[in-house]
Amino acid sequence: MPVALPPPQGNGSRCCGVRSALRDARNPSEEPRKGRKRAAPKDDDAFEIQWSPTKDLPDASLFALNFTQRALEVLYGSRDLAQIARWVTDDVYKAMQAKVDARTRKLSLMPADVRERIAHHFTLSHVTIGKPREGIVEACVVVRGTQRIRAAALRLEGYDHRWRATSFTIL
C-alpha cells in the first residue's frame, strides 16, 4: 500500500532521500515486485570456526596455566562460569555447569557458618605439554592445595587463532 506524501515545499529537493524511501515503502505482506531478485546466500565458510596451526597460536603452557587457574576458580565458586565461556567448547561448558550446580546444591544444605569458612587456596606448579597432532595440545598441570596435590588434565585445540579447551578434568 503506497504512502501518500504532501507536495514538496521550497525548491522541490529531497533531503537525504527520505521521501523516496517513504514512497517505495510497501506493506510487508505484499509480494515482492517482479523483476527484483534477491541474491541467494553464498555457502561461505568464512564465518565458521577455522582450525589454526600451532605456529599461529599463543604459548600453550602459559594458556594451560591461566585456563586451569580460572577453571579452578569457577569450580570453587569464586569466578562466574560465563567468564571462561569463550575458551571452552559447549561440552566442557555443560560439564562445568553441572559441577557448579552440584556444588551450589551441596553448599545450600550446609549451615551458614560452615559455608563462610570454606576457602580454597591452591598454587599451580608444573606444566607438562604433549603434542599429539598439529594444532592440538594435551597438558597436565600440577595443582598444589593446602591438604593434597592434584592434577588437572586438559586438551587444547587451536581455533580462530586462539586455544579452546575441548576437555578439562581435575584428577
pLDDT tens per residue, range 86-130: 999 999 999 999 999 898 888 788 787 766 656 678 899 899 999
Rg of the chain over Cα atoms, rounded to whole angstroms, equals: 28
**pLDDT band per the 50, 70, 90 thresholds, residue 68:** very high
Write phi, then psi, for 99 (nearest 5 degrees).
Answer: -65, -40
Enumerate the β-bridge partners of residue 165: 88, 156
Domains and CATH numbers, the chain: 54-170 (3.10.450)
Read off the amino acid at residue 48. E
Residues listed for the chain: 171
Q: Give me the pLDDT at residue 19, please.
A: 47
User: In angstroms, rounded to a whole number, what is the distance separating the alpha carbons of residues 158 and 163?
Assistant: 5
Residue 72 in contact with residue 122, Cβ under 8 Å?
A: yes
Mean pLDDT for 61-86 is 92
User: Are 142 and 149 within 8 A, CB to CB?
Assistant: yes
**Distances in whole angstroms, Cα of residue 89 to Cα of each of 43, 61, 113:** 24, 19, 36
**Residues 125-151: tens digit of each pLDDT:** 899 999 999 989 999 999 998 889 999
